Amino acid sequence: MTVVKIDNLTKRFGNFYALNGVNMEVKEGEIFGFIGPNGAGKSTTIRILLGLLRATSGEATIFGMDVWQQAVKIHERIAYVPGDVNLWPNLTGGEVIDLFIKLRGGNINKHRRNDLLEKFDLDPSKKCRTYSKGNRQKVALVAAFAADADLYILDEPTSGLDPLMEQIFQDCVKDAKNEGKSVLLSSHILSEVEKLCDRVGIIKEGEIIETGSLAQLRHLTRTHISVETEEPITAIYEMKGVHEVKQIANRLSFQVDAEELSNIMKYIAPYGIVKLENRPPTLEDLFMRHYEKEHELSGGHFHD
């Protein structure tokens, strides 16, 4: 089942198209990673999904309901965490958490709330104005994960968290998934996305340029190979799908397109492999490839 469905969504601010025909889907039970550079349109998309901003054209639904018309009904079933949390300065963290949960119309599951407070190491008795950025972030995260939502919409939720808390956050997201919940996670932390997400959408200048599972997206990327052979390998740079060749006598390093990997291994084997190291492509490689060498990526590539 589809939980979030976005169809040809555009958002114009004056003459500027912040979103230009965005299509995207989050399926039930999946963690969907939403990545892209600053200003690409992630938060704009999310604000439209939350009914805070009205789309210029196109359609967006959550649980089959229109995000603008039926925002109130949708909100009963979602929890949202922004990257920059502003709280009521004179309430304590604990009061804000309870308020958030009550506003959603949910019952406060004290056990769950206290468990989260402990995990995130947050003192709920302090006034919000005294919290650091990271602690304000934690207040929103505890409120979100203590709520029994069906969909979690997280817009760079870990921007102020230290690595230990990042780990706790990742555990919470995994727990939500294990309970069958769906998650839309926008993030700049690619290792986080790589660890958590079932599928990823990459947005750039208001358009989705790539969507798919990490395995599918990896298919687009290159594996890094370092090899030492008994005899020097000749003419590897003439082979299809081979890039960035560096060779010193019997030692060779290069990158190879995923679909040519098997051919290249066959080509190398007769030279007598003494040592072989490979590094699989990371999401970061993919991301950087899109942003640095976009002109090389024209046509014929995978789309979901």
Ligand X SMILES: Nc1ncnc2c1ncn2[C@@H]1O[C@H](COP(=O)(O)OP(=O)(O)OP(=O)(O)O)[C@@H](O)[C@H]1O
Site residues, ligand X (CB under 6 A): 13, 18, 36, 38-44
Task: Please enumerate in sequence order all residues whose Cβ is within 8 A of that of 295, keeping only pairs 6 or more positions apart, or say none.
Answer: none
Smallest gap, in angstroms, from Cβ of residue 34 to Mg ion?
Answer: 10
Q: Which does 36 bind (CB under 5 to 8 A by kind): Mg ion, ligand X, none?
A: ligand X
Instruction: Give whichever of 16 and 292 is closer to ligand X, judged by the CB atom.
Output: 16
Q: Which does 41 bind (CB under 5 to 8 A by kind): ligand X, Mg ion, none?
A: ligand X
Instruction: Give whichever of 96 and 197 is closer to ligand X, judged by the CB atom.
Output: 197
Smallest gap, in angstroms, from Cβ of residue 71 to ligand X?
Answer: 18
Instruction: Give whichever of 38 and 234 is closer to ligand X, judged by the CB atom.
Output: 38
Question: Running DSSP on this structure, what letter comes out for residue 208?
Answer: E
Report residue 44 as tokens.
């704009």
Alpha-carbon gap, residue 242 to 256, rounded angstroms: 5
Smallest gap, in angstroms, from Cβ of residue 9 to Mg ion?
Answer: 16
The residues pairing with 226 across neighbouring beta strands, listed in sequence order, are: 253, 277
Instruction: Give whichever of 9 and 62 is closer to ligand X, judged by the CB atom.
Output: 9
Smallest gap, in angstroms, from Cβ of residue 103 to ligand X?
Answer: 24
Binding site for Mg ion (CB under 5 A): 42-43
Smallest gap, in angstroms, from Cβ of residue 52 to Mg ion?
Answer: 13
Q: Which does 94 bind (CB under 5 to 8 A by kind): ligand X, Mg ion, none?
A: none
Q: Which does 137 bind (CB under 5 to 8 A by kind): ligand X, Mg ion, none?
A: none
Instruction: Give whichever of 44 and 92 is closer to ligand X, judged by the CB atom.
Output: 44
Instruction: Give whichever of 41 and 93 is closer to ligand X, judged by the CB atom.
Output: 41
Q: Which does 286 bind (CB under 5 to 8 A by kind): ligand X, Mg ion, none?
A: none
- Quickly list H helices, the chain: 42-49, 71-75, 93-103, 110-119, 133-146, 163-178, 190-196, 214-218, 261-268, 283-292
Smallest gap, in angstroms, from Cβ of residue 18 to ligand X?
Answer: 3
Instruction: Give whichever of 187 and 229 is closer to Mg ion, judged by the CB atom.
Output: 187
Largest CA distance in the chain: 73
Alpha-carbon gap, residue 211 to 191, rounded angstroms: 17
3-state secondary structure of 235: coil
Alpha-carbon gap, residue 222 to 193, rounded angstroms: 19
Alpha-carbon gap, residue 282 to 7, rounded angstroms: 29
Residue showing the smallest CB distance to Mg ion in the complex: 43
Direct distance between the N- and C-terminal alpha carbons of the chain, in angstroms, rounded to an integer:
17
Smallest gap, in angstroms, from Cβ of residue 43 to Mg ion?
Answer: 3
Q: Please, are residues 12 and 56 in contact by the beta-carbon 8 Å criterion?
A: yes
